[in-house]
Amino acid sequence: MITKKVNSVQEAIQGIESKMTIMFGGFGLCGIPENTIAALVNTSISDLTCISNNAGVDDFGLGLLLQKKQIKKMISSYVGENAEFERQMLSGELEVELTPQGTLAERCRAAQAGIPAFFTPAGYGTEVAEGKEAREFNGKMHIMEEAFKADFAIVKAWKGDEAGNLIFKGTARNFNACMAGAGRITIAEVEELVPVGSLDPNQIHIPGIMVQRIFQGEKFEKRIEQRTVRVKN
């Protein structure tokens, strides 16, 4: 039986080098590969191009890589919760490519499926469309978007087996599902790693063929990005 299991996060990130392009799954602080990010923070890797829906917060998630200035460029949809991100962007220290959220997801999914490009109406007539091919379909203008080309895709799952099959839980499915298999190498960190045959095939979201390395994380924080409370009268 083929096994994708590696023994540690340090083994999982072998081969990641400066100037690479890396996808990071997650939405806000939900479903982010926090153990892998923490391991990268403890390296001298720099000048990364990161593809992620957002950039975490100042002291968690990709915000930790930003603090060490290990990221040269962010390709994201939403970046409003990170003061350091804002500071670096406004000062010109960080390149930023803002992408409509649906387009970001589809560029990941296209890479996952081996589709080189697609047309979407999102962004036509705005700065997003500058320099891109435009065509009319059914009376509506669309712009061409290319699939991402990433060296690594790093995702987080609730449960996985040693063959790389993954199950996500709740909202953590988000960008993790479309990023798995969208990079040259996919690393999956899981909360629980089980032997092959332990998972119900009907519950598997991502098949192991899309994953090259899998490991069980040691520590997971269940943070709430914005806590809203209501006072009873």
d(C-alpha 67, C-alpha 87), whole Å: 11
Give 226's pLDDT tier (boundaries 50, 70, 90).
low
Residue 171: per-residue pLDDT: 86
Q: What is the CATH number of the domain that holds 64?
A: 3.40.1080.10
Give per-residue burial for 2-38: e unless 16+ CB within 10 Å, then b.
Answer: eebbbeebeebbeebeeebbbbbbbbbbbbbbbbbbb
Query: For residue 212, is it within any domain?
Result: yes
- Does the residue 233 lie in any domain? no
Domain count, the chain: 1
Question: What pLDDT, on a 0 to 100 scale, did the predictor assign at position 143?
Answer: 97
Q: How many residues does the chain have?
A: 233
Average the pLDDT over 191-209 and give the result.
96
Task: Confirm whether 107 is domain-assigned.
Answer: yes
Numbers of helices and strands, H then E, in the chain: 6, 11
Asked if residue 221 belongs to a domain, the reply is no
User: In this structure, is residue 37 part of a structural domain?
Assistant: yes
Amino acid at 180: A
Residue 123 lies in a domain: no
Please say if the pLDDT value at position 221 is more than 80. Answer: no
Residue 194: Cβ within 10 Å count: 15
Residue 161 lies in a domain: yes
pLDDT tens track for 38-93: 999 999 999 999 999 988 887 888 999 999 999 999 999 987 778 888 899 999 99
> How much is the average pLDDT of 2-30?
94
**Residue 222 placed within a domain:** no
Q: Give the whole-angstrom CA distance, residue 76 versus residue 65.
A: 15
| Domain encompassing residue 195 | 9-116+147-216
